[in-house]
Chains A and B, each alone.
Chain A
Amino acid sequence: MFDIGIVGGGAVGSSIAYELSRFNLKIAVFEKEPDVIFGASGRNSGVVHAGFYYRPGSLKAKLCVEGNKKIKEWMKILNVPFKATGKILVAFEEEEVQELYKLKEIGDTNGVEGLEIIKGSENVQKLCPTVGEAVACMYSPATAIFSPYLFVIALAETNLLNDVKYFLNCKIVEVKRENGNFMLKDQNGNRYECRWLINATGVHCAEFSKMVGIDSYRIYPCKGEYLLLDKALAPLLNMPIYPVPSKDVGAYLGVHITPTVEGPITIGPSAEYIEDPEGYETTPEIMEQLFQGGYKLWPYFKRSDVIRTFTGVRAKPVPPGDKTFYDFLIKEEESVPNFINLIGIESPGFTSAPAIARVVREIIEKKEKLIPKEKFVPASPRKERFEDLPEEEKQRRARENPEYGEIICRCEKVTKREIIEAIENPLGAKTLASIKYRTRAMMGRCQGGYCLPKIVEILEKEFGYKPEDFQLHKEGSWLFSGRMRKND
């Protein structure tokens, strides 16, 4: 029996677990996928938002501003890479300048620090030398970039050290109330009991809420496609460049161009409503639009710089065409006591996650006193990437351990030691994508052309994988149909 059952192991679910694991509570996180970063938390812009887009007084405004500070603190504690780049919103036409002033006013009201309007193309280029010809910009120094997947992985691994239980490949398919508690059942018929139930299922939140008996919410999945550009371009972009948000699409920030902490540059996201909450498809038309849109902001890339495309899906609580402002919904449902619902946690959901976790904690604290744990581990040990070490240190380690000498991924220069540590990850995530997100192997410009066979060899020789054990990223994503010939 668990005190807390959190369904969904993404940024929100894992942040809540982190917040609550400071107390004497038995916590379980149920995640239907084989890893915690396969939902929206692994498919976004990786921007720590400042909070000037959202209606003053709204939860989005408050939690984003609070989250902006908090997530940076958490990242320092957890040793997750982020860069305080700041960002600019650029106006290309005079009419757009008015919009910048409006956003600044909203931002100032919301308590966003340091917003500044800067006029004149030259002055804009002083901040960001490579931006396209702009009339003016708003500079937001509080905005930052970070590695979204490493953040969630660091949270989850720390949570394990604080006795949070993670159940991967565990899809909750049924929820019943028994003796005032929740009885959960997964797709394999396993049962779990908990006193509190938290819905952190992202784009599936309405569906899950219905499972618990509350059918009053709807989610309209809205996908965002991205292009990913070769990291060779990284020196040419020092901060995210955003357009002035369009008034036609509700709460859509527009196609932006964003550096990532690891180097590659993202262009996106688009915004299209789709049926399938996991319709992670890219389309030729949108890819072309992104190319054009990105080029206007930052004319420094070619078609051949694209190394990959990807898609995330937003959990929008309003249908297409509805331009009213809508807020995060975070509450304990009156009709189902101890059930905390989180609905419509889309952007800035990631930035806000630590603040959302605080709100959830306070909801629980209203009903029961939480007793701090004697021993709380603030962070699991995280190593720097080998490639980021000084050369002398690299040589020293390689002399001591042959696995640091062997480079498995040539594009991102990932060593065998790092691959092995990723395979042995404490969550027990077993897919190839799990290794990819943890090490960056297979993420570079050759997309695994060189290292995939090498990683396969390590898994086979050192971890005893059989052909049928290899999975790319989810149940059924087999790599091999068998052996070619008998192995000798």
Chain B
Amino acid sequence: MSEPILSGHRLKKHFPVRGGFFGRAAGTLRAVDGVDLEVMPGETLGIVGESGCGKSTLGRVALGLLPPTSGEVRFEGRDINRMGRSARKTLRGDMQIVFQDPVGSLDPRMTVRQTVTEGLLIHDVSSRREREQRVVEMLGRVGLDSTCLDRYPHEFSGGQRQRIGIARALVLRPRFLVADEPVSALDVSVQSQVLNLLVELKNEMRLTYLFIAHNLAVVGYISDRVAVMYLGTVVEQAPSALLYERPLHPYTMALLSAVPQAHASGRRKPIVLQGDVPSPVDPPSGCRFRTRCPIAQQVCADVEPPLVEHAPGHLAACHFPGESMPNAAVRAIG
């Protein structure tokens, strides 16, 4: 068995919450609250969950863009937060990120050429000719021709901007890419183009992905394994097919039931969870999902369920894994 390219152990990222008079610390926001992470070389690990559950924070911590409050992140065995300057710089070239917002993540005053070249300059790719060559080649790979070079972001559609963002991230030939909701803002037909592109590039460039999204069908499609997050923790993790076939955690079941099922035979009765996601400043005792869980019992409030391996590679944090939903939660619609 090979070594993980990226691993995180008991990762936490807490943010101080200021409030009241004089901006005193009023509490702690537990954005990521004890997550173990292991990504194998060449693998795509998907992270799925609703907004605010800590996906982006986890992605940033994994890249070393945010230092963890506790726990450590290792890239090829080395703690990325204890590296010297030059090692860190090399690391920046090895690990890259693509963001959700194809508008906000590109500098409107920079041409495509400048945007994609920037990383090469920072990493001292020496000759001007070589830089030019690599930029043109990379743009070609993401499906943009050289007539785009001297144009500005606003001249492009959302899908094309996302391609520019991907070219910028991949021009340094990284080995590890965090894709943070790269298709969430795109129309379905454009979304499929970008997803196909990410799959092709992964195969061609032998990349490893941490793929973040809130749509379970999208994450499952592209990922080998999927981790489901809720309020800063991983509640279930499994190979994609297994997660679909045998979800163990009630939250996963609810997410699955809400996923696009365009075909009549595949459509499911949605499981409707009550209420909103609680605040990460003051998460519920015991199981964090219990306030919305249709099958919660007293033990769920008293004891935090650990993330336990139920089948090879299939982990869930629930006192009643795999239990079926009561009818009241399953809304008969249509």
A binds B: no
Chain A interface residues (CB < 8 Å from chain B): none
